[in-house]
Amino acid sequence: MSTRVRSLCLVVAVVVGFATIETTTTAASAARKHLRLDTSLRAAIESGAHDAQRVIIRVRPDARAAVRRSLAAHGDAVLAEHESIDAITAVVGADELEALASDDAVVGISQDAVVRPHGLLGLVGGVVGGVVNVVGNVVGILLPNGADTSGPVVAPAVLRQTLGVDSTSWAGRGVGVAVIDSGLEMSSEFSNRITASYDFRNGASLSIAPTDEYGHGTHVAGTIGGSGALSYNAAYHGLAPKVKFVVLKVLDGTGAGFTSDVIRAIDFAVANKSALGIDIINLSLGHPIYEPAATDPLVQAVERATRAGVIVVAAAGNYGKNPTTGATGYGGITSPGNAPSAITVGAVKIQNTVPRDDDRIADYSSAGPTWYDAFVKPDVVSPGHNIIAAAAKKGYLYQTYPQLKADDADYMLLSGTSMATAVTTGSIALLLEANRSANGYPARPSLTPNAVKAILQHTALSIHDDAGLEYDPLREGAGSLNANGAIDLGRAVDTSAPTGTLWLTSSPSPWTKIGGDYLSWNQTVIWGSTVIWGSTVTVNQPAWASTVIWGSQVSWSNTVIWGSSNLVWTDPQSWVRRRSAGRVLAAARPQPAPSTRTAS
**Would you say the CATH fold of 116-588 matches that of 35-115?**
no
Of the listed ranges 109-118, 515-524, 556-565, the least confidently predicted one is 556-565
Per the CB < 8 A criterion, the answer to whether 546 and 450 are in contact is: yes
| Catalytic annotation present for 494 | no
Per the CB < 8 A criterion, the answer to whether 48 and 97 are in contact is: no
pLDDT tens digits for range 133-152: 333 333 333 333 445 567 88
**How far is Cα 160 from Cα 599, in angstroms, rounded to an integer?**
20
Of the listed ranges 9-13, 68-72, 244-248, 492-496, the least confidently predicted one is 9-13
pLDDT tens digits for range 581-600: 332 223 223 333 333 333 33
Say what the pLDDT of residue 548 is. 56
| Catalytic annotation present for 357 | no
Per the CB < 8 A criterion, the answer to whether 377 and 344 are in contact is: yes
DSSP class of residue 359 equals: -
pLDDT tens digits for range 420-449: 999 999 999 999 999 999 999 999 999 999
**How far is Cα 426 from Cα 456, in angstroms, rounded to an integer?**
13
- The catalytically annotated residue of 76, 86, 112, 181 is 181
DSSP class of residue 438 equals: H
Element (H, E) at 78: strand 77-82
**DSSP count for the chain of H helices, then E strands:** 17, 30
Of the listed ranges 73-77, 281-285, 517-521, 533-537, the least confidently predicted one is 533-537
Say what the pLDDT of residue 259 is. 98
Query: Domain limits of the chain?
Result: 35-115, 116-588
- Flag whether pLDDT at 32 surpasses 50: yes
pLDDT tens digits for range 64-102: 999 999 999 999 999 999 999 999 999 999 989 999 999
- Flag whether pLDDT at 573 surpasses 80: no
Per the CB < 8 A criterion, the answer to whether 554 and 543 are in contact is: yes
- Flag whether pLDDT at 57 surpasses 70: yes
For residue 80, give the amino acid letter.
A
DSSP class of residue 528 equals: T
Average pLDDT over residues 26-45: 74
- Flag whether pLDDT at 529 surpasses 90: no
Which three-class secondary structure state does DSSP give residue 573? coil
Task: Name the pairing type of β-strands 114-117 and 134-135.
Answer: unpaired
Say what the pLDDT of residue 537 is. 73
**How far is Cα 204 from Cα 227, in angstroms, rounded to an integer?**
30
- Flag whether pLDDT at 54 surpasses 90: yes
Model-wide pTM > 0.75: yes
- Flag whether pLDDT at 159 surpasses 70: yes
Burial degree of 591 (CB within 10 A; 0-12, 13-18, 19+) = exposed
**How far is Cα 113 from Cα 54, in angstroms, rounded to an integer?**
8
- Flag whether pLDDT at 525 surpasses 70: yes
Phi/psi for 368 (5° steps) reads: -80, -170
Count of beta carbons in the 10 Å neighbourhood of residue 542: 15
CATH of domain 35-115: 3.30.70.80
- The catalytically annotated residue of 231, 415, 418, 480 is 418
Band (561; pLDDT cuts 50, 70, 90):
very low
- The rounded percent of the chain whose pLDDT value lies above 90 is 68
**How far is Cα 278 from Cα 334, in angstroms, rounded to an integer?**
24
Instruction: Provide the H-helix boundaries in 164-316.
Output: 216-225, 259-271, 273-276, 297-307
Per the CATH hierarchy, to which homologous superfamily does domain 116-588 belong?
Answer: Peptidase S8/S53 domain (3.40.50.200)
Average pLDDT over residues 149-156: 83
Looking at per-residue confidence, does 330 or 394 come out higher?
A: 394
Looking at per-residue confidence, does 198 or 404 come out higher?
A: 198
Give the CA dihedral 521, 527, 528, 531, nearest 10 degrees.
-60
Say what the pLDDT of residue 583 is. 27
Say what the pLDDT of residue 152 is. 85
- Flag whether pLDDT at 2 surpasses 70: no
Looking at per-residue confidence, does 572 or 216 come out higher?
A: 216
Cα three-residue angle 264-527-86, rounded to 5 degrees? 25
Q: Which of 481, 600, 406 is nearest to 162 (CA)?
A: 481
Say what the pLDDT of residue 526 is. 84
Phi/psi for 118 (5° steps) reads: -105, 45
- Flag whether pLDDT at 107 surpasses 90: yes
Per the CB < 8 A criterion, the answer to whether 336 and 302 are in contact is: yes
Q: What is the mean pLDDT of the chain?
A: 82
Radius of gyration of the CA atoms of the chain, in A:
23
Task: Give all strands of the β-sheet with 387-390 in edge-to-edge order.
Answer: 120-121, 411-415, 387-390
Contacts 24+ apart (CB under 8 A), 402-406: 403/123, 403/124, 404/121, 404/122, 404/123, 406/153, 406/236
Band (547; pLDDT cuts 50, 70, 90):
low
**How far is Cα 212 from Cα 251, in angstroms, rounded to an integer?**
9
pLDDT tens digits for range 453-466: 999 999 999 999 99
- Flag whether pLDDT at 289 surpasses 80: yes
Distance of CA 103 to the CA centre of its chain: 34
Say what the pLDDT of residue 567 is. 24
Dihedral-angle region of residue 77 (phi above 0 means left; psi in -120 to 50 means alpha; beta otherwise): beta
Helix 483-491 × helix 449-459 angle, to 10°: 120
Say what the pLDDT of residue 97 is. 94
**How far is Cα 464 from Cα 557, in angstroms, rounded to an integer?**
32
**How far is Cα 361 from Cα 200, in angstroms, rounded to an integer?**
34
Element (H, E) at 583: helix 581-588
**How far is Cα 417 from Cα 105, in angstroms, rounded to an integer?**
38
| Catalytic annotation present for 191 | no
Say what the pLDDT of residue 328 is. 83
pLDDT tens digits for range 325-383: 777 888 999 999 999 999 999 999 999 999 999 999 999 999 999 999 999 999 999 99
